[in-house]
Amino acid sequence: MGRKRKSRQLEIWMNGEHVGFWRISASGEHGLGYSESWLSSPLARPISLSLPLQPPDALHRGSVVQLFFENLLPDNPDIRGRIQQRFSVGSRSAFDLLTEIGRDCVGALQLVSEEADSPTVKGIEGIVVEEEDIAALLREVYSPGLAGDQRHDAFRISIAGAQEKTALLLHNGSWHIPRGTTPTTHILKLPLGDVGRQRIDLSDSVTNEWLCSRILRAYGERTAESSILRFEDQEVLAVERFDRSLSQDGSWIIRHVQEDMCQVFGVSPEAKYESEGGPGIESIMDVLRGSANARRDRRSFFRTQILFWLLAAIDGHAKNFSIRIGPRGAYSSTPFYDVLSAWPVIGRGARKIALQDARMAMSVKGKSRHYRWDHIHRRHWQSTAKLCGFESEIDKVIDEIIEQTPAVLGQVRQNLPCGFSPRIAHSILAGVKKAAERLG
């Protein structure tokens, strides 16, 4: 006879307060329960809109629990495999991986074993790292590392997404590897390189993403703070985490609760695209009706969908939109992030995308759904807006974008840093100009 399986459990903490637990029963069922102390706390809030607060004896059960935690991890199986090998984890399951790296997740959650002491959050502890140390760390991101490596043992983070990245703590002007329960403050994103079966060349993704962020800001949208940095031969986009902030007295770093739209809707990271079962524009606009800043967030989200089309930002799937959750479950949109333009790779030839093959991550509606970039026209934005209860504003929003575009492009071009890639700048700025003219 085989050994009888036991239930397994991780404790959930948030900024030093016990939130509850995540349990996998002996039969393999996932369950989540909130603690009495959390429910009575003035800071109480659900960890997800899909997992509302409820009494401790009323557990959330099943796939909605499992998928929430799956979405805290990279959805790229190769990256998961490297994490598994680096920390000698028994499997690639979310529970096993987060047992090892769940102390610094996206948002505010810290996951620790039942036997572990409660995380101490009041304090900032880290090891200062110099340029050569960071360069070495970045080179190792693509390798599994050595099991038992002390640097990795002290540095266990979980960052969702499909891209190779790491994260560090920036404190008092110096970079640190955080120690203990101190969180990271910046995500360092490496170039994407060749992507997909066609080996599309996204080796300039760092400059591409930085420029897209600046364009969105020039149009008036909120984006994550970012800068292009070089550590020896390693170029990265350093993105300031908006799920972290320094406490008022400067003595510790506060984690803020946030979740992406896959978590909001309780869907798998594998279903992040609308065409694969994920949420689309209409569904997300409906969720944003409940935002504490509903008018702002709905207008900004819809407006940004049009700006994504201008940018040919074809990877704007559900994991690239998030909300922050406040006390008692009040929520609002976070700044936009992970925006990458396809204009530099649209064209004919090897490692390029033909324009007719460029498909948006979320469809717009006419008589049918339209994903193809070159099939989308103003009337489709109008009909989609009507479905979202946004028809009274759509023409004003479109006309505003068209009117802004010349000034936006001029401002962004004028403020490009010295040595910025002329190829990336020209292709994206020219692409936006062409799309705005078509929209009019």
Q: What is the pLDDT of residues 301-325, one digit of tens each?
A: 999 999 999 999 999 999 999 999 9
Check: CB of residue 173 under 8 Å from CB of residue 393. Answer: no
Can you give the length of the chain in residues? 440
Nearby residues of 241 by Cβ (< 8 Å), 6 or more positions away? 167, 184, 185, 186, 187, 224
- Give me the pLDDT at residue 158, please: 59
Distance of alpha carbon 410 from alpha carbon 407, whole angstroms: 5
Check: CB of residue 338 under 8 Å from CB of residue 161. Answer: yes
Check: CB of residue 71 under 8 Å from CB of residue 262. Answer: yes
| Across 188-208, average pLDDT | 90
In this predicted model, what pLDDT tens digit does every residue of 335-381 receive, in sequence order? 999 999 999 999 988 889 999 999 999 999 988 999 999 999 999 99
Which of 101, 238, 105 has its CA nearest to residue 168? 238
One-letter identity of residue 131: E
Q: Is the pLDDT of residue 150 over 50?
A: no
In this predicted model, what pLDDT tens digit does every residue of 13-65 receive, in sequence order? 999 999 999 999 999 999 999 999 999 999 999 999 999 999 998 999 999 99
**Backbone φ, ψ for residue 161 (5° rounding):** 120, 175
Q: Which fold has domain 257-439?
A: 1.10.1070
**Mean pLDDT lowest among 141-155, 250-264, 280-294, 421-435:** 141-155
This prediction's pTM: 0.93
Check: CB of residue 209 under 8 Å from CB of residue 193. Answer: no
Token pair, residue 397, equals 């929003």
In this predicted model, what pLDDT tens digit does every residue of 158-172 receive, in sequence order? 565 555 678 999 999
In this predicted model, what pLDDT tens digit does every residue of 61-98 receive, in sequence order? 999 999 999 999 988 888 888 888 888 888 899 999 99
**What does the mean pLDDT of the chain come to?**
92
Alpha-carbon separation of residue 274 from 48, 199, 218, 374, 379 (angstroms): 20, 23, 28, 18, 21
Which of 417, 393, 413 has its CA nearest to residue 405? 413
Q: Is the pLDDT of residue 157 over 80?
A: no
Alpha-carbon separation of residue 336 from 323, 330, 365 (angstroms): 10, 19, 23
Confidence of residue 147 (pLDDT cuts 50, 70, 90): very low
Q: Domain spans of the chain? A: 8-113, 257-439
Which of 62, 45, 65 has its CA nearest to residue 53? 45
Residues acting as catalytic residues: 315
Residue 396 neighbours by CB distance under 10 Å: 10
- Give me the pLDDT at residue 155, please: 47
Token pair, residue 107, equals 């948002």
DSSP 370-395: EEEGGG--HHHHHHHHHHTT-HHHHH
Check: CB of residue 337 under 8 Å from CB of residue 315. Answer: no
